[in-house]
């Protein structure tokens, strides 16, 4: 897999359910160039290892979605919200039967928006990302 605009666009659309707009092109390309330069400099490499590409795609998508959310720009071409954080049902009752959709684990009791924020925080964790990059670093001789 290659790290390019189409890969990031497809990742955003199919993994994160974000419909990429024409106006998103510059930001996506900027994040690709910025992160590529960062990785090549940090790891003292001339290429990005194939095994690292999926993690880099997630990191770029996370940074992109974090930026869009912080700008209040998680909207489609018509200005409608892409993610409706208030629409999720917490339980459904039909007659005597009731099903609760409460999550367990670290996101238990969090709102849909808080869970989204936790996802973005997880995939853009720079400490963990640097730890991952350390496996691909090369020694730089002066």
Burial 47-70 (b: 16+ CB within 10 A, else e): ebeeebeeebbbbbbbbbbeebbe
Mean pLDDT, residues 49-71 taken together = 93
pLDDT for 95 equals 79
pLDDT for 108 equals 58
Between residues 63 and 91, the one the model is more confident about:
63
Per-domain boundaries in the chain: 5-77+87-134
Judge if pTM exceeds 0.75.
yes
DSSP code per residue over 26-84: HHHHHHHHHHHHHHHHHHT-SS--GGGHHHHHHHHHHHHHHHHHHTT--B-TTS-BSS-
pLDDT for 109 equals 63
Convert the pLDDT of each residue in 108-139 to its tens digit.
567 778 888 888 899 889 899 999 999 999 88
> Considering the chain, what is the average pLDDT of its residues?
86
Q: With beta carbons less than 8 A apart as the criterion, state whether 108 and 13 touch.
A: no
In whole angstroms, how far apart are CA 139 and each of 10, 41, 43, 127, 128? 34, 12, 8, 20, 21
Q: How far apart are the first and last CA of the chain?
A: 33
């Amino acid at each position: 897999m290659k790290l390019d605009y189409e890969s990031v666009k497809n990742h955003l659309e199919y993994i994160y359910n974000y419909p990429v707009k024409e106006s998103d092109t510059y930001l996506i390309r900027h994040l690709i160039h910025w992160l590529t330069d960062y990785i090549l400099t940090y790891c003292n490499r001339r290429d990005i290892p194939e095994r690292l590409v999926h993690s880099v795609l997630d990191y770029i998508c996370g940074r992109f979605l974090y930026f869009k959310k912080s700008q209040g720009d998680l909207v489609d071409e018509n200005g409608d919200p892409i993610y409706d954080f208030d629409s999720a049902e917490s339980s459904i009752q039909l007659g005597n039967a009731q099903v609760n959709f409460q999550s367990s684990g670290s996101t238990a009791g969090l709102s849909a928006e808080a869970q989204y924020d936790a996802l973005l925080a997880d995939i853009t964790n720079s400490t963990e990302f640097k730890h991952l990059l350390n496996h691909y670093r090369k020694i730089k001789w002066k």
